Amino acid sequence: MGKLIDGKMVAAKVKKEAAADVEALKRQGIQTTLAVILVGDDPASQVYVRNKRKDCEEIGIKSLEYRLSEQTTQEELLKLVRELNERPDVNGILCQLPLPKHLNEAEVINAISPLKDVDAFHPANVGKIMIGAYDFLPCTPAGVMELLRQYGVSAEGKRCVVIGRSNIVGKPMAMLLLHDNGTVTICHSRTKELAEICRQADILVAAVGKAKFVTADMVKEDAVVIDVGMNRNEAGKLCGDVDFEAVEPKASLITPVPGGVGPMTRAVLMKNTVKAAKIQNVAK
Ligand code: NAP
């Protein structure tokens, strides 16, 4: 199937490059290190954290895990973040979201040093993305851009439609497509005539969080369709936001779920961590 975008293959390439950089840093006596904080025992978050550890092991990054109880207070969490900010051996800090309801996520994100913010969620990094002068890009949208690049798809002059406007996916995704000279429309739950807008897209990115949300009638013939969604269907199977079977015949390129955007998100986190190590060591 020539039209399937192979996220696993591209992610392997990105990780291989990151591994080479980790190795080069090791030769300079620098051990790239990522600190991951997990508060509570949300099952999905546990899987994400486990995968991050595996990725670190695979490419030679040292991973430090901080598993805090559900009852952790905001002050305790902030104290840990500040300690990690101060530690010269820690290059990247990531606090797995969502946090338990009693904790203030924005305050925790703001507390992470922008130089160690490998998720690129800190307002300083978000602002840098806006002006196109960034150190880190958020993992999922950056992963999508890398997939497009590897498959020879430029957004230049194209109509791009992003469904979803979250801070971690939809908004930065739209911004990166804009930086790549696309003409970008962002859709959300209040958008009127959504199907009609989507039908105009040369590049359609779905980041909604609803299985089979994008149906064949919403897709233009030969469009590039990127499915960011990670949902469970009735049978408990992982699926995206796109009705894959119905949409695939119309698309020129399409990402599967699993095996599309997901592996890229993980790979870009590794790349960002290595970049953090480089930036911090140049700054010394
Ligand atoms: P989110 O914060 O829940 O945002 C969902 C967006 O979809 C919102 O902007 C919402 O609009 C919009 N939306 C919801 N219903 C809609 C409708 N009926 N019509 C149009 N727009 C609608 O989710 P997220 O964090 O961006 O994640 C989106 C999906 O991507 C989820 O499935 C998530 O699991 C997945 N994800 C995957 C990866 C990966 O690595 N593959 C990474 C991150 C997220 P409003 O703003 O108006 O509410």
Token pair in block for residue 251? 């698309």
How far apart are the CA of 234 and the centre of ligand 1, in A? Answer: 19
For tokens 């099952």, what's the residue? Answer: 43
pLDDT value of position 284: 57
Give the strand order in the sheet containing 33-39: 62-68, 33-39, 92-95
Q: Which atom of ligand 1 is nearest to the CA of 190?
A: 47
Q: How far apart are CA 261 and CA 227, in angstroms?
A: 7
- Catalytic residue, from 119, 180, 227, 241: name it: 119
Residue 7 makes CB contacts below 8 A (sequence gap 6+) with 143, 147, 255, 256, 259, 260, 261, 262, 263, 264
Q: 164 CA to middle of ligand 1, Å? A: 5
* Residues paired with residue 183 on neighbouring β-strands, in sequence order: 159
Question: CB–CB of 144/268 below 8 Å?
Answer: no
Q: Domains for the chain: give ranges and CATH numbers.
A: 30-114 (3.40.50.10860), 139-261 (3.40.50.720)
The residue to which tokens 């002068």 are assigned: 133
Residues 239 and 211: beta-carbon distance below 8 Å = yes
What pLDDT shows up at residue 234?
Answer: 87
Protein residue closest via CA to atom 2 of ligand 1: 166
The candidate with the shortest Cα–Cα distance to 130, out of 167, 93, 155, is 167
Active site residue 280: no
Catalytic site includes residue 6 = no
- Tokens (6 digits) for 120: 């690129």
Sign of CA dihedral 230, 55, 116, 125: negative
CA of 258 to the centre of ligand 1 (A): 17
Cα(145)–Cα(153) distance, integer angstroms: 9
- Is 96 tagged catalytic? yes
Let me know how long the chain is.
Answer: 284
pLDDT, position 153: 98
| pTM (2 d.p.) | 0.97
CA distance 31 to 89: 8
Rounded CA-CA distance 206/256 in Å is 12
The CA distance from 247 to 12, in Å, is 26
C-alpha atoms less than 13 angstroms from C-alpha of 257 in its C-beta half-sphere: 27
* Ordered alpha helix ranges (H), the chain: 7-27, 43-59, 74-86, 105-111, 123-131, 139-150, 170-179, 194-199, 244-247, 261-283
In the chain, how long is the greatest CA-to-CA distance? 57
CA distance 38 to 264: 21
Q: Ligand 1: which residues within 6 Å by Cβ?
A: 140, 163-166, 168-170, 187-191, 194, 207-209, 228-231, 261-262, 265
Q: What is the pLDDT along the chain (284 residues), one digit of tens a residue?
A: 469 999 999 999 999 999 999 999 999 999 999 999 999 999 999 999 999 999 999 999 999 999 999 999 999 999 999 999 999 999 999 999 999 999 999 999 999 999 999 999 999 999 999 999 999 999 999 999 999 999 999 999 999 999 999 999 999 999 999 999 999 999 999 999 999 999 999 999 999 999 999 999 999 999 999 999 999 988 989 999 999 999 999 999 999 999 999 999 999 999 999 999 999 998 55
Structure confidence at residue 91 (pLDDT) = 98
Mutation to probe ligand 1, out of 197, 205, 228 (largest number of atoms < 8 A from CB): 228
Q: Which residues, at least 6 apart from 259, have a Cβ–Cβ distance to it below 8 Å?
A: 6, 7, 8
CA of 26 to the centre of ligand 1 (A): 39
pLDDT of res. 185? 98
